[in-house]
Structure 1
Amino acid sequence: MKHVSCRKSVYIYLWYVGNTVTYRQLGNLFGVSVSTAWSTVKTVATFLISIGRDYVSWPRGVAALDIINTFERKHKIPGIIGAIDCTHIPIKKPQNHGEDYFNRKQRYSIVLQAVVDANKNFIEVTCGEPGSLHDYRVLRRSKLYRMAQSRYEEIFPNSTFIIGDSAYPSTNWIVSPYKNYGNLTDSQKKFNEKHSSARIVDENAFGLLKTRFRRLLKFTEQTNLAAITNIVVSVCILHNICIIKDDLFENAESNIQNNDEQQADEEHELDHGNNRRERLFNYLLRIFQVT
């Protein structure tokens, strides 16, 4: 395999994740073989993941307080530490258990789950679950869920919580909107509107991610799911680096939105967690005198 300098390796990786070229086209553009182009992209992705904890990590202490305060300043809702959602990454049908990756839009995909702060930074990402899985099932299988169950006070200090759409249950650490079966009060509808205005930061983050890194729109050459997952995670890390460097690409989220349709409801556990949503609802009711 031809030796590729570090600088050229970064260029090859950036061109690959920023476009939808084939590896043959990528190799021709940079004067390397197809196998070298593929190996270079994997190597850079692996390096980014190795430094990922410096850029994508669950906030604690002052960092957590800053996120909570920013959400409250922007949306007047106290206690939010992040917004959770999922998006689908199109892939070629895997050789093994391909049917598991066939999603509700009749395409093959893996799922990217992310928790986002008020400034569109990813603070937790989970990637690689089959596209057929419901968003809540993806959460149940994730490290985040296990941490929330075993280390609740550490992950959600001072009764903080994350917000998610109606695909998620309302628990002691997730607040979802009221499901509208035509019987919501005006106050509950206004609560849902405020909830949505804060939650949209996740959709904006996915829109920004997919516009900047257009590779996420098309993984149709490779069937190596581990390598694809690593590339997706690596661009999430690079997304945060771009935000830190004030490379915001502000128009991105208007170009590509996370338009995944909501899946059919599943029966959820922890229904007692509705108390958290009720407490938040009652707080906002008092503050804004919603009637």
Structure 2
Amino acid sequence: MLQQSDFIPSHFSGMRKISAEWSFLIFLWYIANTEPLRTLGDRFDVSVSSIFRVIHRVVEWLLSRLDEEIKWPEGNDAILVTSQKFEAKRGIKKCIGAIDCTHIAIRQPVDHPRDYCNRKRFFSIVLQGVVDADMKFTNIYCGEPGSLHDARVLRRSLLYDTAHIENIFPNETCIIGDSAYPSLPWLVPPFRDNGHLTAQQSEFNFLHSSTRMAVKRAFGYLKGRFRRLRFLELLDIQFIPKLITAACIMHNITIKENDENEFFVNDINDFVDNAADDNYEINLHVNRNRNEIIDRRMQMFCELFPE
């Protein structure tokens, strides 16, 4: 597909061209490892400038396939299959996605560095992702500085605007997220643990957490398979979100092709174990009737624990 695209030079003049296959292998090696470009150039016997051009070329091609590879479930059949897979996990009905954010560590930016310093005191860019039960991304939003809270990233994303304008959550379907997110008619967080939860509310939170673990594991697979995302030393702050998005597209392709890698299973488990401290509550102003907001979570609760 890359060979047939317009992203690989087809003219015959000048120096020897780098083939589509070689270009893709260079990109894969680059994003899967942490080697500097000079070492990468020696490995593939091409110049550093050529490595730079090839990586940008393949990233731009992958971005052109964004809508084909990262798809929101549309149509009754797709929505039904997605919700049934989530229900099979822990019994939560009408859930078509799990949402969360992860931080991609970067070097200190030249411009506005304080905006990119997150609460864990390292510089980062935020990746917001919604995944299905198979850990495939169905929606991503990337590029916000690390100082922003998950709920504010959601408010600035296209998903938030689309959910309030278009009917992308038909038949009372919804997505689930951790306690960092607000309670919305289409987004259900767990009950806030103030020390007075009932036994059933605690059980609901456990089932909720187990179900949304799909997104935590997806981030673990993403960073375990594409180790470059553990720390990006790129100077071009505009290119970083493009590279991250390309990695998310490749993540979906590898899952679609059932490509498993045993070498980073431990990395995934470590990522999930270390994600527990990311949940802290924030109040978010929402222009909707509060009874409507509360009822959506209570509806899910009553479905799990009927009287």
TM-score bucket (shorter structure) = over 0.9
The aligned residue for residue 243 of structure 1 is 255
Deviation at 1:3, TM superposition (A): 3.2
The whole-number CA distance in structure 2 between the counterparts of 1:79 and 1:264 is 25
1:99 aligns with 2:117: no
Q: Secondary structure at the match of 2:42?
A: helix
Aligned residues of 1:71 and 1:118 also touching (Cα < 8 A): yes
Deviations 1:252-281 (A, max 9, x none): 454231535326533212344121001111
Note the alpha carbon deviations across 1:203-225, whole angstroms, 9 max, x for none. 011111111110110101x1212
Matched position secondary structure for 1:45: helix
Candidates 278, 281, 285, aligned match of 1:265: 281
TM-score by length of 1: 0.93
Contact 2:95–2:176 (8 Å) recurs in 1: yes
For residue 202 of structure 2, the aligned residue among 181, 189, 192 is 189
Cα deviation code 1:45-64 (max 9, x no counterpart): 11011012111011101222
How far apart in 2 are the matches of 1:86 and 1:28?
Answer: 36
Q: Relative to structure 1, is the Cα distance of residues 193 and 263 closer, same or farther in structure 2, using a 3 angstrom cutoff?
A: closer
For structure 1, which runs of at least 5 residues remain unmatched after alignment?
none
Structure 1 segments of 4+ aligned residues over 4 angstroms from their partners: none
Paired residue secondary structure (2:142): strand
In structure 1, the residue matched to 2:158 is 143
2:37 corresponds to 1:27: no
Structure 2 runs not aligned, ≥5 long: 1-14
> How high is the TM-score relative to the length of structure 2?
0.88
Deviation at 1:192, TM superposition (A): 0.2
Residue number in structure 2 paired with 1:224: 236
RMSD, matched Cα: 1.6
* Aligned residues between the structures: 284
Closer/same/farther in 2, CA of residues 250 and 143 from structure 1, 3 Å limit? farther
CA distance in 2, matches of 1:227, 1:64: 33
Q: Which residue of 2 aligns with 1:118?
A: 133
Judge conservation of contact 1:108–1:131 (CA < 8 Å) in 2. yes
User: Residues 220 and 267 of structure 2 are in contact (CA less than 8 Å); yes or no, is this contact kept in structure 1?
Assistant: yes
**8 Å CA contact 1:57, 1:123 repeated in 2:** yes
Q: Structure 1 vs Structure 2: percent identity of aligned residues?
A: 44
Alpha-carbon deviation of 1:75? Answer: 1.8
CA distance in 2, matches of 1:205, 1:125: 12
More RCO (CA 8 Å, sep 6+)? 1
Show the counterpart of 1:50: 64
Aligned to 1:174: 187
CA–CA distance in 1 between the matches of 2:262 and 2:181?
A: 29
Task: Tell me by how many angstroms 1:110 deviates.
Answer: 0.1
